[in-house]
Structure 1
Amino acid sequence: MKLSLLIPTVPATVEQAVPFARQVAHGSQLSRLWQGQSYGLEPAATFAYLAGAGYPVPAGTCVLVTPLRHPAQAALEARTVAAVTGHTAIMGYGPGSQVTQRARLGTVYEKPVDASVEFVRAARSCLAQPWDPMVHRASPESPPRYFHSGEALPPVVHPGVQLGLGVLRSRMARVAGKVADAAITWLAPASYLRQVVVPEVAAGAKSVGRPRPSVVATVQVAVARRGRSPVDLVHLSAGGHLVLPHYADMLIRAGVDAPTNDPVSAAKALISGGGFLYGSPSDIAADLTEYAEAGVDEAILNLTGVHTRYGTDEALLDLNEILAATASVHW
């Protein structure tokens, strides 16, 4: 299993992302720098700035919401990231919450899984990637409802783009196995990945005769230190997700009772259920081993809670202690 790093903040200035790009550039244990959806600076622009500043590190997104972009624009951004960094870009997409859909579209996706599949198909078509009959298959009886690809973009030389889907529940996991290059999770405990996500992704891939796409897990982590409150760190890292019904439903399916109307209980449940790794660096290394054993190909370390409360230096201190603890682990 590879380890990667999430920029643990939504940068208000591009310079705020530099310490984390530097860590990936100089740390051999980290494979990629990731960024989530941003309502500040566009992630593709941030990665382009970092490349120009001397940090052309492999980049990815987990995940960008489809109500904000057309597939052609997504394809343009994705191949730009690949071209400017000189590395294959992994760009993840998802439908977002119903609140986001209504705010940006004036309505909601009646079938968000179908919308996500159409988005990936359309973006792949715009990229003019090699023909994949499962991705490009179209039925005259069922024309695209949400996204139409249009013509491929004019060719540009780049190292390649992998298109991922944000995965919470079994149906999205199965379709990710059919059409995506990566299935990207958020808050999902290792046990849920082992029992549900990885098997469903594999089953989806097998049903269409293709290799299983990679499973990428975003893992919330924080080193236990005197004076720190793990409940506080959960709220700072994932509080906005814990109140959303689709995340609550996924956690219930994972055996984590995280009530949307009780933030303290939800945070404690997430910690005890393995959705937020809090402890010594060696404890966290052991917990990460469970993700590897579950079939995860890449774990993205998310230190947003630590960064929000204590700043960049503390976040990097946690990161380097975790990396030191995992240096001798063979996944």
Structure 2
Amino acid sequence: MNTPELTAEENDFLVSTSQVNAEGVHVWQFDPTCPVDVVRHKLSGRYPFRMNRHEYYEIVFLRSGSVMWQVQDSMVGENEGDLFIMTNPKYHRVTEHSSSEIQAESLFFHPELVKSAWGSDFRALEDFFSRDRSLPHVFPAECGLPQEIHHLIQQISTKLPATDLRARLTVRAYLKMILVLLMTHAGMPERSSVTGSDRRRVAFDSFKPLFQLLEKRYSEPVSPNDAARVMHMSPSNFRRTFKQVTGQSFVSYLNNFRVAKAQELLASSDMPISEVGLETGFCDQSYFGMIFRRLTQATPRQYRRQIQQVRRHKDYDRATSSYFYNA
């Protein structure tokens, strides 16, 4: 199977739009019968992502370039041949400090997929991969692990889509090998009854009333003090706790969310740019343009033009393919 190729613009659009909700949760459209996917990315530091988190596991092998990841409020560097791991629901993103041209191969999968293969040990597996200090986010090429795991990722890609039982069993076997390799290199600690992942989920859940409010009222003024009142916290406690949970200040988080909504409108409608700004909560157009450019490395007009160009290119490819197929 040939894994899908995404341009930098397409992939940025993919991650920045409706697949990331008000809670900052990125939802990947897995095949429900076998929730695993392998994707080759062409990324760019010119198109930094919005902070997001997810429940699935993410393993990224860097084929070329360098990436500066933001994980919560920390920065983690990944170079060519390194492996980036995200197995707990922390907010993270590719930042603008990354190379302008990046090629990566990513493995996404739900840990439940290997539950049957681990049996009663599955809980211990979850505990290990959810701990803050069990696993480093980056394994360097020099340790040899990235090449081993990349080979297994490539083997998985040849079995996708896993449309029959044999293919699904093979994918699960390769995933188990990957997880065993990661645990072997990191070392298996003593099991704990409460994990870092459990604590983060409780913290995320506590902020759900605020995230629901933002989803409904992002076009209206919402100040940090308004948010603190929703959460029944003092302003100072709210600012500190929100930063600990999301890795961002409330104003930065809200701006990122509003810009993502603006990207959706710019890509899916002909609404004038001034109206897009107002619709997404930016009362001042110059401020809207400044924040949009800071977060996407493009003006709203440039972004709309880029999306239109990508779509025209894809429509041309479809028309050409159809012509040659029917000729």
- Give me the TM-score of the superposition, normalised by structure 2: 0.30
Q: Which has the larger radius of gyration?
A: 2
- Give me the TM-score of the superposition, normalised by structure 1: 0.29
